[in-house]
Structure 1
Amino acid sequence: MHPLLPTTAPLPLFDVAASRRIEARALVHSPDLMARAGLAVAKLALALRRGDGPVWVACGPGNNGGDGQVAARRLAQAGVPVHVGHDMPANPSLAIDALLGLGLNRAPAAELRAPIAAMAACGAPVLAVDLPSGLLADTGQPAGELAVRADHTLVLLTLKPGLFTGEGRAHAGRLWFDGLGVAPDEAPTALLLGPVPRPARGATSHKGSHGQVLVVGGAPGMQGAARLAARAALACGAGRVYVDLLDAPALEPADPAWPELMRGAAARLPDAVRVFGCGAGDAAAAAAPALLAQTGPLVLDADALNAVAAAPALAARLRQRPAGTTLLTPHPLEAARLLGTDVAAVQRDRVAAAQRLAGALNATVVLKGSGSVVASPGETPALCPSGGPGLATAGTGDVLAGWLGGLWAQQPRAGAHAIACQGVEQHGRAGEGPALARAGELVARLAAGR
């Protein structure tokens, strides 16, 4: 058993169906899985309980409840006072949520709502067994109006996608993992991203060795978005970074505060990675056809995505681009527009929505938000475990788009999916913590490798 985050390497995730298959095969060779699980819960409970009051173990009818019963017996054997039942004891030192697990596919039954609600007001730390009760393992969304908000979750046997995206991160608290001695024996449903080394810079390299980025956007009144993206690309290590400020006077500097940035245009920079849409406004629609017609690496963000959503002809051009050359970075509302649906439908199953959009547009999609999702045709989707509310501020999406462009310029042979996984994880890690980070500060954090 060990704390799960921060990750040090990519980790496999398994949805409900895969987790059930792995569990069924494991039970053939290890019929004591429940005993192992209950022991792991008891060990963590001993470390987490606060005070001398009883440990409240709320058990449901399935395997999750069985794990809780084993844990209760182990705790009692260790001399810890234990209360097993749906009614809350006085002054508990810890509440163990063993009500519902993988089997949940609808809102919790009426008899389980009272203990779920009581845990929120019990005044003790809450430890969820495998999943917070009421949370769907595949999507990270509550199945009904009530779901446990745990302080800690001990994930057992397999890691579930719903713990890392949607509302899962808010409900699970600190994550711990115990594989119960079982190595999964099938391919993962998704991957949890881990750190990736920055592109190497050789001793004899020069600025021409590290590619070019062209940021197209920054219509009047919105130049800051394009400039943030360009600053991020330069801070990432791109050799040369140009800015095409749409509808700007020819003599207007690319960025008065960053003289390293240059004005440029797509026609004169055929080999540059394009980052298109940051602050482009209504001018995005006119600029889009020429940019989509080119075959080189292209990152589409913000107003470029809205232009594609509003024009079926642009979406058709996007689908015709070579595989692995297009990277989209929508937030949920932009994804909803592209899919012709609403935000609630996108958020209901973020992994499925990202995969659907990737398939529809023949592109890599970074669906931003809590637990950003990276999806591409023919690739295993990836979830980002880093990031936090500090990224919920203006301009951080522009920084991500520019950072992705900078990474791609330095790795021209990489496909969009690999670039997206690198950039999203680095961007999330730089934005860790509850304090809001101004986008300019985020560029500095990324440059420092934090």
Structure 2
Amino acid sequence: MQRVLPPSRSLPLFGVQRTREIEQRAREALPPHTLMRRAGLAVARLALAVAPHARRVWIAAGPGNNGGDGFEAALHLRAAGKHVLVTVAGVPERMPADALDALARAREAGVAIAVEAPDDLGPADLAIDALLGIGATRAPDPALAQTIARLNTLPCPVLSIDLPSGLHGGTGQPLGENCVRAQHCLTLLTVKPGLFTAAGRDHAGVVWFDDLSVTIRSDAPDAWLIGGDSAALGPRSHVQHKGSFGDVAVVGGAPGMTGAALLAARAAHAAGAGRTFVSLLDEHRMTHDPLRPELMFRDGWWKSAEATLRHATVVCGCGGGDAVREALPRLFSAAGRLVLDADALNAIAGDPKLQTLLRSRSQRGRPTVMTPHPLEAARLMSFETAKVQADRLGAAQSLADDFGTVVLLKGSGTVVATPGAIPYINATGTAALATAGTGDVLAGWLGGLWAQQPQNDGMAAALRVTCAAVFRHGAAADACTSPALRAGDLIDSMLRLS
């Protein structure tokens, strides 16, 4: 058993269908009821670890195999000296064979089976959510919804088995108005993507994983969870110089939004770019940054010779306003590496000609990274934002496949997708990042990392630096002790993680 976050290495994530396939093969290879008995023992061990002083344990068992895991856990907890009460939703006799076996074993061990939940649980006690597992595809019925509501009002911690009941394992979206908010979740056999994106983090609490001693050898995952191994891009050689680490040019900063471009440029510089240029779109533009005089201001840089644009990494759109539209055709045509953020994405969403030019970049081997938040993604897809959030993995993958770019879909559990490949979910970060300018910092830092990569790495380098940038961006928030992290301070926080 392991605690999943923070992930030291990238982990494969398996959705509902692939998990079922893996589970079926494991059942066929093992004696009857083996998986459920292992699952129940794992749940009991974690329960004793997270609530060692609990006197009373309530296990809310559902009508399927998730409930069976709860029965198995109950007999082990009773053997450990805990006062265990199990309530059963539905008709026990209609449960699957594994769950019926577990129920019989629990009864034989003397576990108390009741109809009503206990009303005397204290803060030191424990409740175990064994209501619904990966099989749930619709909102819980009224009886289950009532039990979920009861779990969410308890003064003691709640431990969910496999998934918080009412949460979709693939999308991380609640299936209805009632979804368990657990303090701990033990995901079994496979790690599910829904625990780490959309509402998953808020409902799952601390996520633990037990593979039930089943080795997964050949299944391609539905996604990868970005780990700390993705954040390391290698040391610098002693003989390298600023020319070794590439140029970044930030194109943005329309009137009233100069700060966005400055934040992106400062972040690119901090990430290690050899030189950082700032091309502001404000006619009354500043000529230098007094905080970071290392930044070089160039009027109309985006009109430079094609060779200059081809060898630079361009971050475009931060605070660009409507003025950024004029620069986009030239950048689409000539820029070697291009990060598109904020107003650049909004301009593309409303202009079919720009969309066509963007798609042509991949056909010419010019890699691009798009960094939309959910509303910007919705505009690009002509969707409602709720539809993007309903399936964040699917939305990011559709955008990547459509435009031939790397897509970084921001939000809780940021998704990184590339055309025709397995997407990634980032598990670092908190709502401390929910302040103006943090997205500009992410775009700039990404550009700064990308500028340091070999020019011929193409899409592979784009994916690598995007995962590294978003992991560190979130890790800085994880280390933050205040409710909100100001964008200017975020850059220094990211540097301290080096």
Distance 1:52 1:190, change over 3 A: closer
Report what 1:255 is aligned to: 289
Contact 1:245 1:254 in 2 (8 A): no
1:12 aligns with 2:12: yes
1:352-363 aligned within 5 A: 352-363=394-405
Give 1:65's aligned amino acid. G
Q: 1:436 aligns with which of 480, 484, 491?
A: 484
What's the CA shift for 1:52?
Answer: 4.6
Report what 2:244 is aligned to: 209
What's the CA shift for 1:126?
Answer: 0.1
Give 1:104's aligned amino acid. A
For residues 154-190 of structure 1, the C-alpha deviation after alignment (integer angstroms, 9 at most, x for no partner) is 1110000100000000000011111111122311111
Contact 1:324 1:417 in 2 (8 A): no
Contact 2:226 2:425 in 1 (8 A): yes
Give 1:119's aligned amino acid. L
User: Within 1, Cα distance between the matches of 2:349 and 2:18?
Assistant: 35
Give 2:135's aligned amino acid. G
For residues 92-149 of structure 1, the C-alpha deviation after alignment (integer angstroms, 9 at most, x for no partner) is 3100000000100000112211110001112110000010000000000000110000
User: Within 1, Cα distance between the matches of 2:403 and 2:120?
Assistant: 55
Give 2:492's aligned amino acid. A
Contact 2:313 2:335 in 1 (8 A): no
Give 1:46's aligned amino acid. L
What's the CA shift for 1:272?
Answer: 1.0
What's the CA shift for 1:90?
Answer: 2.9
Report what 1:189 is aligned to: 222
SS in 2 for 1:321: helix
Contact 1:50 1:94 in 2 (8 A): no
Report what 1:165 is aligned to: 197
Distance 1:336 1:294, change over 3 A: same
User: Within 1, Cα distance between the matches of 2:199 and 2:451?
Assistant: 34
Give 2:48's aligned amino acid. L
What's the CA shift for 1:63?
Answer: 1.1
Report what 1:348 is aligned to: 390
Report what 2:266 is aligned to: 231
Report what 2:470 is aligned to: 424
User: Within 1, Cα distance between the matches of 2:283 and 2:463?
Assistant: 33
User: Within 2, Cα distance between the matches of 1:20 and 1:343?
Assistant: 30
User: Within 2, Cα distance between the matches of 1:377 and 1:63?
Assistant: 37
Report what 1:74 is aligned to: 76
**Of 320-329 and 237-246, the range deviating more from structure 2:** 320-329
For residues 167-216 of structure 1, the C-alpha deviation after alignment (integer angstroms, 9 at most, x for no partner) is 00000001111111112231111100012214421101111110000000
For residues 288-328 of structure 1, the C-alpha deviation after alignment (integer angstroms, 9 at most, x for no partner) is 11111125110000000000001010011001102560000
SS in 1 for 2:127: strand
User: Within 1, Cα distance between the matches of 2:420 and 2:392?
Assistant: 17
Report what 1:307 is aligned to: 347
User: Within 2, Cα distance between the matches of 1:60 and 1:246?
Assistant: 59
When Rg is computed on C-alpha atoms for both structures, the one with the higher figure is 2
Give 2:319's aligned amino acid. G
Report what 1:84 is aligned to: 86
User: Within 1, Cα distance between the matches of 2:248 and 2:54?
Assistant: 61
SS in 1 for 2:128: strand
Distance 1:295 1:246, change over 3 A: closer
Give 1:15's aligned amino acid. G
Task: Give the TM-score taking structure 2 as reference length.
Answer: 0.88
What's the CA shift for 1:91?
Answer: 2.5
SS in 1 for 2:327: helix
Contact 1:273 1:298 in 2 (8 A): yes
SS in 1 for 2:85: strand
User: Within 2, Cα distance between the matches of 1:3 and 1:324?
Assistant: 40
1:72-151 aligned within 5 A: 72-85=74-87, 87-92=116-121, 93-151=125-183
1:381 aligns with 2:423: yes
Give 2:400's aligned amino acid. A
For residues 202-260 of structure 1, the C-alpha deviation after alignment (integer angstroms, 9 at most, x for no partner) is 1011111100000000112111000000000000000000000013347x324222100
1:3 aligns with 2:3: yes
User: Within 1, Cα distance between the matches of 2:68 and 2:256?
Assistant: 61
Report what 1:284 is aligned to: 324
Contact 2:312 2:335 in 1 (8 A): no
* Structure 1 unaligned blocks of 5 or more: none
Contact 1:234 1:240 in 2 (8 A): yes
Report what 1:449 is aligned to: 497
Report what 1:41 is aligned to: 43
**Of 412-421 and 385-394, the range deviating more from structure 2:** 412-421
SS in 1 for 2:169: coil
**Of 335-344 and 27-36, the range deviating more from structure 2:** 27-36
Distance 1:365 1:254, change over 3 A: farther
User: Within 2, Cα distance between the matches of 1:379 and 1:424?
Assistant: 18
1:55-70 aligned within 5 A: 55-70=57-72
SS in 2 for 1:204: coil
User: Within 2, Cα distance between the matches of 1:21 and 1:216?
Assistant: 48
Contact 1:88 1:122 in 2 (8 A): no
SS in 2 for 1:429: helix
Task: Give the TM-score taking structure 1 as reference length.
Answer: 0.97
Following TM superposition, the consecutive aligned residue runs of length 4 or more in structure 1 with deviations greater than 4 angstroms are: none
Give 2:12's aligned amino acid. P
Cα RMSD between the aligned structures? 1.4
User: Within 1, Cα distance between the matches of 2:258 and 2:76?
Assistant: 62
* Structure 2 unaligned blocks of 5 or more: 89-115
Give 1:352's aligned amino acid. G
